[in-house]
Amino acid sequence: MTALDALVRLCPPPAVPPPAVDWAQAERALGTALPSDYKQLVEAYGDGIFDETIWLLVPDSAYDDCDLHAQTVEREEILTDLWEMGEDKPAGLLEAGARVLPWAFEEGTGAFLYWLARPGQHPDQWTVLYNEGRGPLWEAHDTGCLAFLLAVLAGTAETDYFGHFYEVLKPTDHRFETADETLGASRR
């Protein structure tokens, strides 16, 4: 069973498939290819939120908060300012040419999930970094985004974060809500 199959069993995707993504255009806009597990995730779920906790970013979302491109630009600006003010970069970013790209964020915390994109590394080898958002702490996970998301929802992720999810929500039936369902009808 693939990670996507396991996630679909754990947390069913929307009954109506999300809009198709022009991956070539999305990758041109970002200046990089994207991981295949992320593409599978977006094609199955689209923009929205898993268990009222993890928002998935997608290319060309009707909502800026869920738009991969808009959030990439915003996060680059914010992180650049923080690092110029002296906040420490995660160790993986000390390598010349390494960068982070956001793919999800945690509801209500300011925390983001990123890929650590290293020069010369295929996107399918990118790993996940969690940044607490309102502080300098970063947590590295040696896995792709789909496997990490599955581990968080299944309660098997080795992480110091997602306390509200594990301690308060404690979902037994997992749910995905589209951005349209959660935020109201979009401009699509």
pLDDT at 36: 97
Write the single-letter amino acid at 22. Answer: D
What pLDDT, in 10s, does the model give residues 66-79? 999 999 999 999 99
Inform me whether the pLDDT recorded for 7 exceeds 50: yes
pLDDT at 126: 97
Compute the CA torsion angle 66, 72, 74, 80 (nearest 10 deg). 150
Residue 179: band (very low, low, confident or very high) from pLDDT cuts 50, 70, 90? very high
Write the single-letter amino acid at 161. Answer: Y
Write the single-letter amino acid at 29. Answer: A
Inform me whether the pLDDT recorded for 86 exceeds 50: yes
Is the whole model's pTM more than 0.75, yes or no?
yes
pLDDT at 185: 63
First to last CA, the chain: 34
CA–CA dist 113, 130 (Å, integer): 5
Inform me whether the pLDDT recorded for 188 exceeds 50: no
Q: At what angle do helices 145-154 and 36-45 cross, to 10 degrees?
A: 60
**In the predicted model, what is the mean pLDDT of residues 37-60?**
96
pLDDT at 48: 96
How high does pLDDT run on average in the chain?
91
Inform me whether the pLDDT recorded for 1 exceeds 80: no
CA–CA dist 102, 94 (Å, integer): 18
Inform me whether the pLDDT recorded for 87 exceeds 90: no
pLDDT at 29: 95
Strand partners, 177: 49
Write the single-letter amino acid at 50. Answer: F
Q: What is the largest CA-CA distance in the chain?
A: 47
Question: Where do we find the tokens 């010349």?
Answer: 96
